[in-house]
Each structure stands twice: as C-alpha cells, then as structure tokens.
C-alpha cells in the first residue's frame, strides 16, 4: 500500500507541473511585483510618518490646482483637475492592455496589436502629463507657487517636495519602463512572434506589470493629492 501511494504521489507531481498552476514566467513576475510593492510601501509609509508628524503641511488643493493652457492663458485654476485627468488616462491605458490580453487568449494578432498600441499611447500621455506637472511646479518657485527638492513656497517642510519628486519619479520610471516593454511586445506581436510560439503569455505577463503600475498610482494619488 505504501508503495502504491508513493507511485500515485509521484504520478501526481512528477516534478513537471507548477504547484501554483502557473508558468515559471508568470510566477517570477508575481515575485517581482510583490518585492516591488514592498519598496513602494516603504516609501509611502515614510511619507505618511513625516506627513502626520509635521504640524503644518501643504494643501493639495492649492499645490495641484494648475491646468495646462487654461491656467497659463486664462488664469483658471482647477484643484486636482489635471491629476484627475492623468489618473483617468492611466486607468484607461490599463483597460486597453486588458483588452490586448483578452485578444491574445483568442489568438487574435490584429486585436493584440491594436489594443497594445492604445495602451502605449495612454502610458506615453501619462508621462507627458507628469512632465508638465513637474515643470510647472519647478518653474513656479520663481513666482511663489512651486517647489523643488530644495525649496518650497507652500509653507510646508522641504520634505514634502522631496518625497513628492522621489515617489512620483520612481513611479514615473516604472511607467516609462512599462511603455518600453509594451513597445517591445507590440513589435513582436506585429511580427508574429507569439503566433509562432502558439500563445500570447508574454502579453499577459507584461499586463500584470502594467496593472501593478496602475494600482500603485492609486495609492500615490491618495497620499499626495487627497490627504
């Protein structure tokens, strides 16, 4: 009986199938995302500790009230308006990547190419928005409405600007990396690489990364723009 049980156990495992029922590549991507989540958590916890231990802090409705063209041309201010647009763009790009993954499951190369391209456009647009926001805040120091890692005109500790640029910059680097990865996957999809492999798992793996970047932004948005 013991021998039969051992044989049955060997047949069930046999060293050839993942106990998590996922491929090696997906499993490693999840490991990477979990470790990266720890890094973002440490940064955001540090921000929270400094934020709530300081007697005064910047009002996000006052700091982030500019809107491209409208503010510079007409003097119109929309508290948290522009960052809301940025957030919508990033979430929409994540939806596009979801659609690319779905088309990959259907082995539809044209669908993957189309939706991945839209996801890339969304990521690039988000980076462009973030670049404008950074430039507006840095150049605004001269006019009494801005900040750098060395100066702050909002009556808050310098740490506010330092943490803002470090954390949003670190997230922006992830978005930039994701755009580069998406472009590589998009080119490979156009060239039929995944059809020759017989699956689009790589699209799914990069999709996991892209959704992670999107999720992290929700917490960054909460920390800097709402609290």
In percent, the amount of the chain with pLDDT more than 70 equals 91
Label residue 156 by pLDDT band (50, 70, 90).
Answer: confident
Label residue 2 by pLDDT band (50, 70, 90).
Answer: very low
pLDDT given at position 140? 87
Calculate mean pLDDT across residues 30-51: 94
pLDDT given at position 227? 81
Q: Which of 21, 18, 31 is nearest to 208 (CA)?
A: 31
pLDDT given at position 124? 97
Nearest 10 degrees: CA dihedral of 93, 96, 102, 107? -110
Collapsing DSSP to helix, strand or coil, 113 comes out as helix
More confidently predicted of 22 and 189 = 189
More confidently predicted of 209 and 22 = 209
Window from 7-11, 67-71, 136-140, 210-214 with minimum mean pLDDT:
7-11
Count of alpha carbons within 13 Å of 116, Cβ hemisphere only? 30
pLDDT given at position 17? 60
Collapsing DSSP to helix, strand or coil, 147 comes out as strand
* CA 195, 197, 201, 207 torsion-angle sign: negative
What would the pLDDT profile of 82-113 be if each residue is shown by its tens digit?
A: 999 999 999 999 999 999 999 999 999 999 99
**Do 148 and 141 contact (CB within 8 A), yes or no?**
yes
Window from 18-22, 47-51, 77-81 with minimum mean pLDDT:
18-22
Label residue 8 by pLDDT band (50, 70, 90).
Answer: very low
Architecture of the domain delimited by 29-226 = Up-down Bundle (1.20)
- List alpha helices for the chain, DSSP H: 2-13, 24-53, 60-63, 70-74, 81-105, 109-139, 158-190, 193-197, 201-221
């Amino acid at each position: 009986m013991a021998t039969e049980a051992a044989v049955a156990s060997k047949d069930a495992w046999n060293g050839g199938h993942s106990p998590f029922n996922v491929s090696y590549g997906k499993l490693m991507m999840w490991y990477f995302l979990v470790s990266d989540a720890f890094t973002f958590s440490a940064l955001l916890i540090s921000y929270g500790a400094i934020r709530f231990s300081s007697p005064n802090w910047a009002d996000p409705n006052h700091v982030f009230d500019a809107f491209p063209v409208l503010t510079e041309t007409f003097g119109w201010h929309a508290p948290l308006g522009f960052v809301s647009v940025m957030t919508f763009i990033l979430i929409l790009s994540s939806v596009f990547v979801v659609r690319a993954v779905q088309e990959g499951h259907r082995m539809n190369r044209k669908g993957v190419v189309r939706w991945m391209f839209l996801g890339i456009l969304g990521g690039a647009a988000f980076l462009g928005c973030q670049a404008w926001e950074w430039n507006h805040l840095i150049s605004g120091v001269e006019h009494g409405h801005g900040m750098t890692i060395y100066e702050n005109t909002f009556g808050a500790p310098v740490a506010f600007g330092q943490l803002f640029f470090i954390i949003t910059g670190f997230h922006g680097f992830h978005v930039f990396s994701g755009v580069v990865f998406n472009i590589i996957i998009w080119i490979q999809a156009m060239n039929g690489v995944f059809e020759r492999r017989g699956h689009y798992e790589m699209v799914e793996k990069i999709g996991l990364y892209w959704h992670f970047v999107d999720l992290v932004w929700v917490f960054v948005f909460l920390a800097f723009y709402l609290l």
